């Protein structure tokens, strides 16, 4: 049995070098949703993590493997409640895979002094509380933590993530959109006022709760746009691209629902500020991503497909310059439940605890 060491003094004093045999005690609230289930799947094979708490208000007392039969004879625990204060005293990190409003209502200083929080909702992603309340139609109960919360896009904010005690895990659409466009925005190669993002997602992005729009007969043999000119991930993408480009960004973002379980494909369009060659743009992308474990810049004229990233933490990106329109077309593909949610959350946890960033995330894409 592996030695289980205490790795922190519970008051935000984290060491850089640690015994590799220690185990992070993990609690998951919202463990029976799709993102929560994916967290469980990934953490089962994590060398330095042990799940102590499978939180689910609606399934309290039920065997976790009875809800997700894929964990039969793998997870023997029952579901527990969602009391964050009790949980914080027992674990090192809490993942909240919950709807908007849960984490922000439950969070307090006592909790933050005892455990690190990785929130998979949007409660702490946006720095402007007015924008959050407008787009999510909720009153934010603890805006005092918005400034402290670190936006957990690892490839952009790695150093800040390492010292965070409150981590805002990015949304799925924003992760794919931002990573696909970031090098162009950061290097000032595109006119940010011309950005248009067309996005497509599988049905798991809408969560596990029953909705008529997600029934098989509604989704099968169909594709549709939804939340046109009003999807709540829009301000998150705008905020991060504004930071990257150094100017206010307002863009069009249109999501579509496609009849598949997993995956996101984004196609973004923008006007180039000047004439550029393929080699020049490829060099820019390589300079940002060639050392990144989970961002793959594809070869020329090989464009991202969701089937090549399914079940993995990879994001595939590429671009095509259209000299006729003086625009660039950027594409990105990823698994919305892995890099778009649970995988990214584990990647953030690894950074926060000084572990190799890839630990627990080495799973290869599944095909077919």
> Is residue 123 located within the same domain as residue 31?
yes
Task: Please give the pLDDT value at position 173.
Answer: 98
Summary mean pLDDT of the chain: 93
Provide the CATH number for the domain around residue 35.
3.40.50.720
* Same domain flag for 227 and 291: yes
Kindly report whether the global pTM for this prediction surpasses the value 0.85. Answer: yes
Residues 327 and 255 in one domain: yes
Residue 217: the pLDDT is 87
Residues 159 and 222 in one domain: no
Give tens-digit pLDDT for 212-232: 887 888 889 999 999 999 999
Residue 210's pLDDT band, with cuts at 50, 70 and 90, is: low
Residues of the chain with pLDDT > 70, as a percent, come to 94
- Label residue 329 by pLDDT band (50, 70, 90): very high
Q: Which residues pair with 352 in a beta bridge?
A: none
pLDDT-derived band at 357 (thresholds 50, 70, 90) equals: very high
For residue 109, being part of any structural domain is answered with yes
Asked whether residue 193 falls in the same domain as residue 300, the answer is yes
pLDDT score of 18: 43
Q: How confident is the model at residue 136 (pLDDT cuts 50, 70, 90)?
A: very high
pLDDT of 16: 41
Q: Within this chain, do residues 289 and 198 fall inside the same structural domain, yes or no?
A: yes
pLDDT tens readout for residues 249-302: 999 999 999 999 999 999 999 999 999 999 999 999 999 999 999 999 999 999
- Model pLDDT, residue 1: 37
Known catalytic residue: 79?
Answer: no
CA nearest to 235, candidates 178, 185, 166: 178
pLDDT at 351: 98
Structure token digits, residue 73: 């004879």
The number of domains in the chain is 2
Query: Is there a single domain that holds both residue 211 and residue 327?
Result: yes
The residue-averaged pLDDT of 100-110 equals: 96
Residue 44 in any domain: the answer is yes
Q: Specify the range with the lowest mean pLDDT, choosing from 82-86, 188-192, 238-242, 253-257.
A: 82-86
Flag whether pLDDT at 4 surpasses 70.
Answer: no
Domain of residue 309, residue span: 173-335
Which pLDDT belongs to residue 316? Answer: 98
Residues 286 and 147 in one domain: no
Q: What percent of the chain has pLDDT over 90?
A: 88
**If you average pLDDT over residues 109-113, what whole number do you get?**
97
Same domain for 287 and 344? no
Render pLDDT for 18-72 as a digit per residue (tens, 0 to 9): 445 679 999 999 999 999 999 999 999 999 999 999 999 889 999 999 999 999 9
153 and 197 share a domain? no
CATH number of 254's domain: 3.30.360.10
The DSSP secondary structure of 23-90, one letter per residue, reads: -EEEEEESTTSHHHHHHHHHHTT-TTEEEEEEE-GGGTTSBHHHHSGGGTTT--PBPB---HHHHHTT
Q: Residues 9-22: what's their mean pLDDT?
A: 45
The residues near 7 (Cβ < 8 Å, ≥ 6 apart) are 14, 15, 18, 22, 24, 92, 353
| pLDDT, position 7 | 34
Identify which has the larger pLDDT, 213 or 15.
213
In a domain? residue 5: no
Residue 306 lies in a domain: yes
Residue 255 in domain: yes
What confidence tens digit (pLDDT) does each residue in 294-322 have?
Answer: 999 999 999 999 999 999 999 999 999 99
Residue 145 lies in a domain: yes
Q: Is 240 part of any domain?
A: yes
Q: Check residue 216 and give its pLDDT.
A: 86
Residue (of 357, 313, 364) closest to 334 by Cα position: 313
Shared domain for 204 and 291, answered yes or no, is yes
Catalytic residue among 5, 172, 176, 217: 172
Residues 331 and 345 in one domain: no
Instruction: Give the N- to C-terminal CA distance of the chain in Å, as an integer.
Output: 37
């Amino acid at each position: 049995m592996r030695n289980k060491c205490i790795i922190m003094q519970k008051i935000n004093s984290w060491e850089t070098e640690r015994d590799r045999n220690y185990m992070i005690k993990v609690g998951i609230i919202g463990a029976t949703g799709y993102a929560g289930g994916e967290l469980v799947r990934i953490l089962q094979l994590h060398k330095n993590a042990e799940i102590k708490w499978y939180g689910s208000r609606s399934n309290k007392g039920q065997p976790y493997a009875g809800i997700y039969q894929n964990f039969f004879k793998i997870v023997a625990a029952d579901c527990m409640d969602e009391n964050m204060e009790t949980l914080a005293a027992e674990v090192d990190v809490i993942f909240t895979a919950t709807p908007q409003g849960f984490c922000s209502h439950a969070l307090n200083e006592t909790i933050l002094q005892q455990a690190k929080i990785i929130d998979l909702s949007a409660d702490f992603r946006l720095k402007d509380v007015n924008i959050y309340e407008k787009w999510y139609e909720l009153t934010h109960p603890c805006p005092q933590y918005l400034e402290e919360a670190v936006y957990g896009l690892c490839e952009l904010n790695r150093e800040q993530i390492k010292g965070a005690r409150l981590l805002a895990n990015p949304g799925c659409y924003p992760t794919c959109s931002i990573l696909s466009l970031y090098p162009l925005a950061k290097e000032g190669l595109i006119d940010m006022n011309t950005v248009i993002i067309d996005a497509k997602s599988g049905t798991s992005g809408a969560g596990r709760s029953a909705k008529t729009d997600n029934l098989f007969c509604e989704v099968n043999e169909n594709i549709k746009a939804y939340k046109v000119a009003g999807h709540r991930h829009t301000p998150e993408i705008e905020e991060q691209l504004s930071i990257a480009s150094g100017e206010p960004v307002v863009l069009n973002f249109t999501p579509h629902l496609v009849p598949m379980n997993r995956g996101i494909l984004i196609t973004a369009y923008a006007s180039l500020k000047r004439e550029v060659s393929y080699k020049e743009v490829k060099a820019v992308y390589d300079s940002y991503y060639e050392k990144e474990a989970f961002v793959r810049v594809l070869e020329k004229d090989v464009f991202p497909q969701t089937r090549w990233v399914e079940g993995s933490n990879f994001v595939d990106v590429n671009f095509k310059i259209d000299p006729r329109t003086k625009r660039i077309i950027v594409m990105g593909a990823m698994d919305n439940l892995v890099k778009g949610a649970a995988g990214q959350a584990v990647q953030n946890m690894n950074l926060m605890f000084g572990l190799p960033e890839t630990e627990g995330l080495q799973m290869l894409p599944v095909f077919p």
